Amino acid sequence: MSALRGQLPIMRLAELSKRADVPRSTIKFYIREGLLPAGESQGRNQALYGPKHLERLALIRALREVAGLSVDVVGRVTRELDRGWEGDPFGQAMLAIHAPPAPPKSAEDAAELETLREEVREFLRDLPWTVDDEERRFFSDEIASDLLLVRRYLFPGFPVANLARTAQIAWLLSEAGFELVPGGAPAPIAANNDDLAQPVRLAILGTVLFERIFAALHRSANAMRSIRVAQGLEVPGA
Amino acid sequence: MSALRGQLPIMRLAELSKRADVPRSTIKFYIREGLLPAGESQGRNQALYGPKHLERLALIRALREVAGLSVDVVGRVTRELDRGWEGDPFGQAMLAIHAPPAPPKSAEDAAELETLREEVREFLRDLPWTVDDEERRFFSDEIASDLLLVRRYLFPGFPVANLARTAQIAWLLSEAGFELVPGGAPAPIAANNDDLAQPVRLAILGTVLFERIFAALHRSANAMRSIRVAQGLEVPGA
């Protein structure tokens, strides 16, 4: 819990509960589950809490209430945060945001999925912005599973290479997303020993909220495109 | 159930169950719930089913198993399908894919949400591809709710206009998505009395699967961009 040490403890549980707007029993639960470090003990049944506890509770609330993450997933994120630069809190959160893909239904599906995984990894590795193809391997596994469903339920034989334009647009959107952050997206640096909590909060909430906003804009765009195509109206470029 | 009439009934329940790979009790449940029309009665406890029943069962399975829609939501989609050109099966599915936004927590939030809704509607109305600003109003309501969370948890005062580039990219993605459909995206036409089931199936499954694929590509793009920024590497354009 290094990020929470070395601070002046200043309030008792009742005040922490009031200021964080989190019930005392919930705070105790978070401490038991390891989401929040214990306060500084002042003898039997007394402990003092500091501003870092407030910050951590705000993070937990945001991850639960806004991003809709479960206590288990939030626990994985905070445990990684507590490991500091050794940890991977953002990766854990990304891993947790979507449910793991369903296992293949048959031996044939399993074999095709294995081939698809290799192909998707190669596809991602060849993108001009990829730094490390071992990084975030779960993304490629998720894409491979969805592509198998595309082949089974929509377009038989759909090739991985057909995702080239989609990947390019994902890169454009990541550029636009980083530009939306006032003052620029924070990039904490290990050598400076920068605190990771704030960038992780920003990255997780930003990912979840702007993904939802983008999905709604995209569905609206699809609806308008369908109407234009069906009615023979002009379909403008972007 | 107009789409399912006028066909030759050819099989009994046992064969329908076997060919559709759906248990008999589930088929009976779908009939009771109105997702599937009853077979053609051949006297007590006997009914015959046709190819349209098979198609409908395949649609129901895909919507449930691939798109993850609940029986209730699938029922809303099939009821709209049964209304033919009077219905809005795709709209009902889009409405159902995401949970409705949480209600605002305070009077202040409610007031800001109301203003945001107006602003988002105006923003969407002014996009060059918008056909009808009354169409799909739930998209704008969803975006407004998420923007309120953006303001509360990420960037206070975040202006709607900052979504301009995001909207443009959503339009690019809808273009790319339509181009992914072999032979072009089907645009059924009322005057031809075209069948809606197949385009609706394609639109719903395509939306769900390619949204998931795009989200994974986008999260991968964000991860790579973060690594490049943090390590001072070149950040290529798309």
Name which residue leads in pLDDT, A29 or A134.
Answer: A29
The pLDDT tens digits for A40-70 are: 988 877 899 999 899 999 999 999 988 888 8
Residue B12 has pLDDT above 80, yes or no: yes
Instruction: Decide if B219 and A130 are in contact by the 8 Å CB cutoff.
Output: no
Residue B22, min C-alpha distance to chain A (Å):
15
Mean pLDDT computed over A142-160: 94
Residue B147 has pLDDT above 90, yes or no: yes
Burial B185-203 (b: 16+ CB within 10 A, else e): bbbbeeeeeeebbebbbbb
Q: Which helix (H) or strand (E) holds B40?
A: strand B40-41
Residue A46, min C-alpha distance to chain B (Å):
32
**Both structure tokens of B6:** 């006028």
Mean pLDDT computed over A96-108: 80
Q: Which helix (H) or strand (E) holds B202?
A: helix B197-230
Q: Which residue of A has its CA nearest to B188?
A: A230
Residue A18 has pLDDT above 70, yes or no: yes
Q: Max alpha carbon distance in chain A (Å)?
A: 77
Which range among A147-151, A197-201, B215-219 shows the weakest confidence by mean pLDDT?
A: A197-201
Name which residue leads in pLDDT, B2 or A100.
Answer: A100
- The whole-chain average pLDDT of chain B stands at 87
Residues of B within 8 A of A170 (CB-CB) are: 214, 217-218, 220-221
Residues of A within 8 A of B216 (CB-CB) are: 98, 139, 142-143, 146
What pLDDT sits at residue A181?
84
Mean pLDDT computed over B42-68: 89
Q: Which residue of B has its CA nearest to A120?
A: B217
List the one residue out of A133, A158, A163 whose CA is nearest residue A148: A158
Q: What are phi and psi of A88, to 5 degrees?
A: -140, 65
Mean pLDDT computed over A111-140: 89
Mean pLDDT computed over A11-17: 95
Mean pLDDT computed over B26-49: 92
Alpha-carbon distance B179 to A162, whole Å?
10
Which range among B50-54, B73-77, B185-189 shows the weakest confidence by mean pLDDT?
A: B185-189
Mean pLDDT computed over B43-70: 89
Cα separations in angstroms, B148 against A186, B61, B99, B103: 22, 36, 16, 11
Residue A124 has pLDDT above 90, yes or no: yes
What pLDDT sits at residue A117?
95
Residue A87 has pLDDT above 90, yes or no: no
Residues of A within 8 A of B221 (CB-CB) are: 129, 167, 170-171, 173-174
What pLDDT sits at residue B2?
42
Residue B3 has pLDDT above 50, yes or no: no
Q: Indicate the SS3 state at residue A101.
A: coil
| Percent of chain A scoring above 90 in pLDDT | 51
Residue A3 has pLDDT above 50, yes or no: no
Residue A1 has pLDDT above 70, yes or no: no
Name which residue leads in pLDDT, B45 or A113.
Answer: A113
The pLDDT tens digits for B86-127 are: 877 777 777 777 667 778 989 999 999 999 999 999 999 999
Whether ipTM > 0.90 holds is: no
Q: Which residue of A has its CA nearest to B137?
A: A220
What pLDDT sits at residue A208?
87
CB pairs under 8 A between A and B: 245
The pLDDT tens digits for A165-174 are: 999 999 999 9
- Our CA angle for B161, B166, B172, nearest 5°, is 135
pTM for the whole structure: 0.85
User: Cβ-count burial of B100 within 10 angstroms (0-12 exposed, 13-18 middle, 19+ buried)?
Assistant: exposed
Mean pLDDT computed over B167-185: 90
Residues of B within 8 A of A223 (CB-CB) are: 90-91, 94, 135-136, 139
**Both structure tokens of A70:** 């479960």
